[in-house]
Amino acid sequence: MAREQHDYDDIPGTYVFDQDRSRQGFGINMFCMSLMKDENRKAFKANEAEYLKKFNLTPEQADAILKRDYNRMLELGGNIYFTAKLGATDGHSFRHLAATMTGSSQDDYANMMLAGGRSVEGNRSKSGKVAKPVKAAKKPAKKPAKRPAKAKAKPRSKSRSKRG
Amino acid sequence: MARIIAGVSSSHVPAIGAAIDNKQTEEPYWKRVFSGFEKSKEWMAQAKPDVVILIYNDHASAFSVEMVPTFALGCAAEFPPADEGWGPRPVPVVKGHPQLAAHIAQSVILDEFDITVVNKMEVDHGLTVPMNLLFGSPKEWPCPVIPVAVNVVLYPPPTGHRCFMLGRAIRKAVESYPEDLRVVVFGTGGMSHQISGPRAGLINSKFDKAFLDNLTKDPKKLTRIQHLEYMREAGAEGIEMVMWLVMRGALEDKVDEVYRFYTVPASNTAVGHIILEPHRRVAKKAAGKTKKAAGKMKRAAARAKTAVRRSR
């Protein structure tokens, strides 16, 4: 079954670690947790593919891990706080991983952060539907005054569209 | 009776902890960050809380994907620093306050917050970095800490409104505790940041500053921010800011902003920090100790004001 779509799938360059990804990525994240122990880090480093057999991973997931394709790991249900443990096993910091996932060089990424980070402008929405910040939700409207008018207005517009 | 004397919030960036542990705090990059907390440490030394209730999130240290409590209350006598993959941070063991924690558990659950009680737990940088920022690096932490872990890793975290209401419930619990204790509630995490995916590095200072403004002035407005908006505007991991609303909910509606600090970046993250105290200045000057007396004095002051206006 295809992935159920959510409103946040419209955010570009982002894999939200939701319940469905968590379900799929359990093996990836449990593998990453195992790297909290030094003996496991050593065993993994000694023979990566063999070590991965201990976990319930799909071939795609194992492949993403072996290739250190961090974006793919997230897409297949890994979470950054877990995959960061794989990064740490390789001697990399969060910032190093972040740069890798954005496809920039370490220097370029560091400079972008020093200059104030990636702007949200142009990075809000894949569909382009949300170009500006959505105004903070208003206080729950005081209904009574406007309700009767609205109720009347609706059927009218419907009938109009039917005629059209 | 125990009471909440202040609310504090700050980011809990792991790289800040690494900078402390590797003694890099004097390097220009880090000095910019740490200098913003000098005043806060002085403030904390004067405030001398008897207990800190610290709202934070665990980062795959105490809780993996095997078990994900939405709200978890640390009721143990102590919480050792977790090994996050490079050995435990060289910080003191965090001492709990099991008695107050038990009281809070009992109170908030009956207040309809089905919180998870945790009697054995290690704590990671999410808790220890803010401790360093406000208390420095002493041999022992100066007061006990009650950790409240909020899930912000597995979507969806609790809503901002729910977090705010948990703060309310915590305040009610604290104020019904018989011992005279001065409590500081500490919200942590944020501010805007994204550390995952091709959009990593996102920072939104405008969003952060508005958040800080409203935290003081109009927190109810913040409780209406939806998860989608946090993630879109403040980055996928910026959603952590809901934890600041637990702190805010634990304070009264009207607060005084005592201090604020904001800088970009620390590693991938916008660092924000605020100290809020209950708004008591007028009442303190004029009134006696009971609330009734304060009310009376306020009303008297209001009458006096209108009298002056009339006489003009």
B193 is catalytic: yes
Tokens 């939700």 sit at which residue? A137
Q: What is the pLDDT of residue B303?
A: 61
Q: Global pTM?
A: 0.88
B125 is catalytic: yes
- Which residues on A lie below 8 Å from B197 (Cβ)? 13-15, 71, 74, 101
Low-confidence ranges of chain B (pLDDT < 50): 285-288, 311-312
Q: Would you call A137 and B226 a contact, using CB atoms and an 8 Å cutoff?
A: yes
Written as six digits, the tokens of B128 are 């220890």
Q: Would you call A116 and B264 a contact, using CB atoms and an 8 Å cutoff?
A: yes
Residue A129 pLDDT level (bands cut at 50, 70, 90): confident
Domain boundary assignment for chain A: 7-114
Q: Would you call A118 and B265 a contact, using CB atoms and an 8 Å cutoff?
A: no
pLDDT tens digits for range B34-89: 999 999 999 999 999 999 999 999 999 999 999 999 999 999 999 999 988 778 99
- Residue B246, C-beta contacts closer than 8 angstroms, at least 6 positions apart: B55, B148, B150, B163, B164, B166, B167, B170, B185, B187
**Residue A30 in contact with partner chain B when CB distance is under 8 A:** yes
**Residue B217 in contact with partner chain A when CB distance is under 8 A:** no
Residue B228's alpha-carbon distances to A55, A153, B51, B160, B225, in angstroms, are: 33, 31, 35, 12, 8
B57 — phi, psi (to 5°)?
A: -125, 145
CATH topology of domain A7-114: Protocatechuate 4,5-dioxygenase; Chain A (1.10.700)
- Mean pLDDT confidence for A133-141: 66
Strands B182-188 and B3-10, by their bridges, are: parallel
Closest CA to B53 of B1, B127, B139: B127
> At residue A114, does pLDDT exceed 90?
yes
Report helix, strand or coil for A85: helix
Written as six digits, the tokens of B72 are 């978890």
Residue B285, H or E segment: helix B281-286
- Bridge partners (DSSP) of residue B146 are B53
Per the CB < 8 A criterion, the answer to whether A57 and A31 are in contact is yes
Q: Would you call B154 and A18 a contact, using CB atoms and an 8 Å cutoff?
A: yes
Size of interface A-B (CB pairs under 8 A): 161
Closest CA to B222 of B192, B242, B195: B242
> At residue A123, does pLDDT exceed 60?
yes
State the Cα–Cα distance between residues B160 and B248, nearest whole angstrom.
11
Residue A161 pLDDT level (bands cut at 50, 70, 90): very low
Q: What is the pLDDT of residue B300?
A: 62
Q: What is the pLDDT of residue B295?
A: 59
Closest CA to B52 of B169, B183, B142, B148: B183
For residue B105, the distance in angstroms to the closest alpha carbon of chain A comes to 27
Q: Would you call A102 and B200 a contact, using CB atoms and an 8 Å cutoff?
A: yes
B42 — phi, psi (to 5°)?
A: -65, -45
Percent of chain A with pLDDT over 70: 82
Report helix, strand or coil for B177: coil
> At residue A143, does pLDDT exceed 60?
no
- Which residues on A lie below 8 Å from B268 (Cβ)? 94-95, 98, 113, 117
Q: What is the ipTM of this complex?
A: 0.88
State the Cα–Cα distance between residues B138 and B129, nearest whole angstrom.
13
pLDDT tens digits for range A44-101: 999 999 999 999 999 999 999 999 999 999 999 999 999 999 999 999 988 999 999 9
Q: What is the pLDDT of residue B85?
A: 77
Report helix, strand or coil for B304: helix
The neighbour count for residue A131, using CB atoms within 10 Å, is 9
> At residue A160, does pLDDT exceed 60?
no
**Residue A20 in contact with partner chain B when CB distance is under 8 A:** no
Residue A3 pLDDT level (bands cut at 50, 70, 90): confident
Per the CB < 8 A criterion, the answer to whether A78 and A28 are in contact is yes
**Residue A40 in contact with partner chain B when CB distance is under 8 A:** no
Beta strands in A29-120 (DSSP E): none
Best to test chain A binding among B27, B151, B199, B205 (most A CBs inside 10 Å): B199
- Which residues on A lie below 8 Å from B62 (Cβ)? none
Written as six digits, the tokens of B127 are 């808790």
- Residue B171, C-beta contacts closer than 8 angstroms, at least 6 positions apart: B4, B249, B250, B251
Strands B78-79 and B145-150, by their bridges, are: unpaired
Q: Catalytic one among B12, B97, B125, B273?
A: B125
CATH topology of domain B3-279: Protocatechuate 4,5-dioxygenase; Chain B (3.40.830)
**Residue A44 in contact with partner chain B when CB distance is under 8 A:** no
Q: What is the pLDDT of residue B82?
A: 95
- Which residues on B lie below 8 Å from A102 (Cβ)? 198-201
- Which residues on A lie below 8 Å from B225 (Cβ)? 136-137
Q: What is the pLDDT of residue B55?
A: 98
**Residue A86 in contact with partner chain B when CB distance is under 8 A:** no
Written as six digits, the tokens of B243 are 């934890």
Tokens 């952590």 sit at which residue? B240
Domain boundary assignment for chain B: 3-279, 281-312
- Bridge partners (DSSP) of residue B276 are B7, B257
